[in-house]
Structure formats: structure tokens, C-alpha cells
Amino acid sequence: MPELRKDPIIGRWVIISTERSKRPDQFANSGEGPTEQECPFCEGSESKTPAEIYAIRPHHSEPNTPGWKLRVVSSIAPFLRIEGELERQGKGLYDMMNGVGAHEIIVETNQHINNICDLNEEDIAKVFTSYIDRITDLEKDQRFKYVLVFKNYGWSAGGGRIRHSRSQLIATPVNPKRVKEELAGSHAYYNYHERCIFCDLIKQEMDTKERIILEADGFIAVCPFAARFPFEVWILPKKHSCDFTSLDMPMRLNLAYIMKQVLSKLKKGLNDPPYNYILHTAPFRRPSKAGYWKTIDRDYHWHIEIMPRITRVAGFEWGTGFYICPLPPEDAAKFLREIKV
């Protein structure tokens, strides 16, 4: 059983994963790179994955058989386990709980396509629909506080040996530290200014235009002012909303358009780089919550952060939480703006 453990000094939670454990000596530095394996995610290989939790497939077709457009399955080596009650315990000064949660793989297409930007917009919108449906379902489980949706594309972004296009989600019984920091920061800004900080940021970016990559129906794509990485991109909905799951189908199609544009620009301009993207959306807002949790709808603004992995993160960043970005975001935005896709 995996464990969730809390750093006693700064309060960061860590999953100590036991499911995918190797022996200590198997971690030795091998310098090994990617080698393609037989793909378990293609149509016709349904028996090679755990049973499907969710699928977009014709209504007469059987689960775990061909014919689907998109499938969600449990991870074969889950970071967290769905079974069991959540138990918190102390060990001297340390806090821990058992690793209850969900870890699911969203297989985005039945074809062996690698990069989501090579799907058509309608199929990309289906991916967002599956995120919404899975988050909404997992919200019913009172053990969970947050669902983190992310994508690892390419070997050095943690994408693994199989290149079939997919996303992952993890439902966690704790709120991630970064999420709490964003909520606290946007709450403090609202209290002072009586405006959403993200709405203000969007307005300022649309005025100055220097960090805008693309403006489209309902969304903008910008390189953030304090970018951590070269070509870091945030996609923000222009209309205030804290919750990704409230996105209707026309807006999902708009989001699919801008995501396809931006990811295609990265692919073309930077020679198909590895990247991660992360959905930043509000945690589950349950009635029992107090403090700044009461005003999340007002304070927070969902968005997607895309991080190409083209520079190595060195020791400086790990030790301090502050980053060195070797390319001004204004230059990155100009470069991406000018790439035609």
C-alpha cells in the first residue's frame, strides 16, 4: 500500500509509492533512453490494460472491445490505491496517511498518434469532456479533495516508453501545496482589489499584447510574466470561472482550437519538444469548508499551464523554489506568435 507522508517542516505531501517499487540497486544510473515497446493502448489491445472505467464508444458496443474513440483505464502501476478507508496517523513528529486515491489513464485516441495536437479539434474536445466527466464522478467520493489532470509528453517529460497519446489524472485525499498557494494568493488579491487577479492579468496582457501568443474565441494563450521555463504557456478562459468542469461544449471546442494551435506551434517551432501540461482548477468545494475556501468561486480562475521541457532544471531551482528562465517570455511569445501552423 502506498503512503502519503508530509514533510514536517514545510508541509509538502509526498507519495511514497510501493506499487512500482524496484529494488534499490535497480535505480543505478544506466543512462538508458527510450525504446519503443508494443503499445497496449491501440484499438484491438483492450485486454492489455486494466478494465475500462469510462469510454466514449457507440452505445451498442461492449466495454473492453474495439470500436471506442477514447478510453479511461486504471493505471497498471498506480501511485495511489482506490480501495480502503482514509486513515491519518502520526509517527512521532511525522504525519502520514495511507495512500488512498485514484490514478487513471485517459487514452485519447484509438490510433497510435503520439502528440495530442495531431488529433482533430473535435477529438481534442472529447478529451476535455472525459476530464470533466471523470472529475465530476470522482467528486462524489468524499475521501478525495482534488483531481489533478496532467499530461507527460515525451521521454524527458516523464512520458514513458509508450508514445500513444494520453493524459493522466490523480485524485488525492489532500489538497496539493501549489493549489493552496494559488487559492490563498488569489484570495488575498481579491480582498484588496475586489477583482479576480487572473481577470486583471488577462486584461493587462490583452492591453500590452507583448506576451500574447494567440487570442481566440473565449481564450487567450500567453507566456506568463514570471515564466519559469522558456516557452512556458498559460491558456486562460477570458470569462471568469473557477471550475473547469463548468465548461460547456462550445467552449470545449474553443479550448480544443487554441490548444491545438499552441501545441502545434511548439511542435513545429521547437522540433517536437517534450512537454507537460497541467490543469489548474478549483478543488472540490464542500459545504464544511471555512476561510478562503468559502470564496473560491469568486477568487479563483481555472487555467492550463504548458511547460516545454527543453532546458534541464538545475540544483538552484530545487533548493529555493525560484527559477532561472534563460529566455524572456516576450521573446518566446513573439517567436510562437510568428510560427504558422
Site for its own copies in 129-168 (CB under 8 A): 148, 150-152, 155-158, 168
Q: Which is nearer to its own copies, 55 or 169 (CB)?
A: 169
Pairing assessment for the beta strands 52-56 and 233-237 based on DSSP bridges = unpaired
240 binding its own copies? (CB under 8 A): no
C-alpha–C-alpha distance, residues 125 and 117, integer Å:
11
6 lines the binding site for its own copies (CB under 8 A): yes
| Contact between 47 and its own copies per CB under 8 A | no
* 37 is an interface residue for its own copies by CB under 8 A: no
Output the nine-digit C-alpha cell for 299. 477568487
Residue (54 or 155) nearer to its own copies, CB: 155
- Check residue 315 for interaction with its own copies (CB under 8 A): yes
What is the C-alpha to C-alpha distance for residues 61 and 268, in angstroms, rounded to an integer? 38
Residue selected from 173, 230, 237, 283 as contacting its own copies according to rule CB under 8 A: 230
Contacts of its own copies in 169-208 (CB under 8 A): 170, 172, 174, 176-179, 181-182, 185-186, 189, 197-198, 200-201, 204, 208
CB of 231 to its own copies, least distance (A): 7
Q: Give the nearer residue to its own copies in terms of CB position, either 6 or 285.
A: 6
In whole angstroms, the minimum distance from the beta carbon of 296 to its own copies comes to 14
The beta-strand segments (E) located in 108-226 are 146-153, 166-172, 212-216, 219-222
User: Is 90 among the residues that bind its own copies (CB under 8 A)?
Assistant: no
* Dihedral sign from CA coordinates of 16, 18, 20, 22: positive
296 is a site residue for its own copies (CB under 8 A): no
Bridge partners for 53 per DSSP: none
* Contact in structure between 123 and 109 (CB atoms under 8 Å): yes
55 bridge partner residues:
71
Contact call for residue 281 and its own copies (CB under 8 A): no
* Calpha distance 101→338 (Å, rounded): 43
- For residue 315, the minimal CB distance to its own copies (Å) is 3
Half-sphere exposure of 228 (CA within 13 A, CB side): 16
Element containing residue 308 per DSSP (H, E): strand 303-308
Among 136, 142, 191, 311, binds its own copies (CB under 8 A): 311
The residue assigned the cell 534499490 is 24
Tell me how far the alpha carbon of residue 267 is from its chain's centroid: 19
Minimal distance in Å, beta carbon 134 to its own copies?
Answer: 16
User: In the complex with its own copies, which residue's Cβ is closer, 55 or 308?
Assistant: 308
Calculate ∠ Cα 193-195-197, nearest 5°.
Answer: 95
Range in contact with its own copies (rule: CB under 8 A) among 64-72, 113-121, 126-134, 303-311: 303-311
User: What is the chain's length?
Assistant: 341
- Residue 121 vs 331, nearer CB to its own copies: 331
Q: Which lies closer to its own copies via its Cβ, residue 168 or residue 295?
A: 168
Pick 234 or 257: Cβ nearer its own copies: 234
Q: Are strands 3-6 and 70-74 parallel, antiparallel or unpaired?
A: unpaired
